[in-house]
Chains A and B, each alone.
Chain A
């Protein structure tokens, strides 16, 4: 990076944190600090929700997936619009009318304290793991690209997050997210334009799309029904739909966003903005990855995109032979691509691509790191103009901060409302709880930094831990379905339903090869079946929830 890129990167960080602090000023009550005093307009909520999901690792790995695996990952989001519609019709008005700070507070109003406590514990475990990973995963990538140590990267990132989240609360987080989301989209559009403009003069945009399709990179829809296939139309619509229902309907990091809305209507519009924009945005990000793939058909890529691993592999005795094979495969692929552009069949291109993939796979056996996350960043740092490199890296840096701030803020809210206020210190004044909220934010921020540093030592386990989140959503969704729709079900039946549902998910994960998106379906259905079934057996007094 040049000095100009560093200046741009730091200027962007200073701007975003200052802007968040400025917009978050005046959060002098718990209601303002945790729910922005319910003053947020729909577009701010919608963009903030999208920014929280678009974490840095998603940003860099999604483009990498487009490069390596094509566009099939877009199907993961097809269930999202359905989930948003269901939540707009159910959870949004119910939570608003219940006048709660957290989703779990509603469970006590509807069921009992033990069900609320169990689901609160599930959330804190799941999100607690996620908070550290949300810092660790992008820090690993950014520390390599920026040349910083991992500890410095997590400390800078975590420190800035703690600063504006602690002082400004949800208002600071939401307003920073809005800026963040707009800059993410702007940066992606610039990257897309640049990838197209850097193609050889005889390759038009339409030629590039044709070549991406010929290489199997435009596989957006797969309608075959395969339970073990992670991404197809059905796993996206059904499994993805359940996951999105659980994530937006039961995860406090999302529920808190739409509870900040000025009205029920604003909350609904915020979610529906996400419903309509998410699939096209993901399509666009994956499409950029596909265009970067086409760019590298004509521009010689490195054997490995990870700069440190590339240097390490280059010192191994296997490297010279690998590089020779790689060069030959690249020459054959470029020649085949030009023939396909001229109208020849695609078989030669696919065969040449297999050769390239085989050499890269052999090289990756000598490496210790996932190479996919470095593809887009390698493209940015090698081919973007001065200044833009700093801006895009800055945006990726703050995307990690955005995801992390949302998680820390929600963890602090649940800790304050569902643990401290409910079980440890009742009846204090608002000022006391505001102070406790800020302390909880600092605690979870420090915890995230510490856990991130511990998680780095887990190496490839980070990816496994990252998927652990999907082990909990099904049971959380199930208990809220019981609460919203099955009035016959009371507290003990719901509590036992969650416990059995959670065990069922663990069993499916441990003893079957079912793709993880289906865990959410299994967990939710077991909780509903057990909870509803037990409601016929257990005799409990009815309880009326407000809302």
Chain B
């Protein structure tokens, strides 16, 4: 049996568009692209400075 706990509950959430890029999926795409760029830079860094 499921019962709601008593007392004060968190308020209903507000969803809103992101401040940049228009939609959240585009923001996620930007973050994943940024990760790909970081990995590429770290790989180049490793190759350039390897013994």
Contacts and interface: CB of A to CB of B under 8 A. Distances in A.
**B and A form one assembly:** yes
Interface of A: 29-31, 35, 38, 74, 78, 81-82, 84-85, 88-89, 93, 96-97, 99-101, 105, 108-109, 112-113, 209-210, 212-216, 218-223, 233, 259, 262-265, 268-269, 272, 275-276, 279-280, 283, 346, 350, 417, 421-422, 426-430, 433, 543
Contacts of A263: 13-16
A262 B11 CA distance: 10
A233 B2 contact: no
Interface in B22-51: 24-25, 27-28, 31-32, 34-35, 38-39, 42-43, 45-46, 48-51
A88 B24 contact: yes
Nearest to B43: A221
Contact of B15 (A113, A221, A264, A428): A264
Contacts of B17: 265
Q: Which 8 interchain pairs have the tightest Cβ spacing? A: A213-B49, A96-B13, A263-B14, A218-B49, A265-B16, A220-B42, A81-B35, A85-B28
Contact of B45 (A218, A233, A543): A218
Nearest to A215: B51
Contact of A82 (B12, B19, B35, B51): B35
B7 A430 contact: yes
A220 B42 CA distance: 6
A99 B1 CA distance: 19
Given A82-B32, A209-B49, A221-B39, 18 more contacts: A30-B7, A31-B11, A74-B42, A81-B32, A89-B24, A89-B25, A99-B10, A216-B50, A218-B46, A218-B49, A219-B50, A264-B13, A265-B14, A265-B16, A265-B17, A269-B19, A276-B31, A430-B8
19 contacts: A31-B11, A89-B24, A93-B15, A113-B1, A213-B51, A218-B45, A220-B42, A220-B45, A233-B39, A264-B15, A265-B18, A268-B18, A269-B18, A272-B31, A350-B51, A417-B5, A426-B3, A428-B7, A433-B6
Nearest to A213: B49
Nearest to A84: B31
A360 B5 CA distance: 58
Given A93-B15, A262-B14, A426-B3, A268 B24 contact: yes
Interface residues of B, number: 36
Nearest to A100: B10
Contact of B43 (A31, A105, A223, A268): A223
A112 B9 contact: no
A263 B17 CA distance: 11
Nearest to B41: A220
Given A89-B24, A265-B15, A265-B16, A543 B31 contact: no
Contacts of A280: 38
A467 to B, nearest CB: 26
A99 B32 CA distance: 29
Nearest to A422: B5
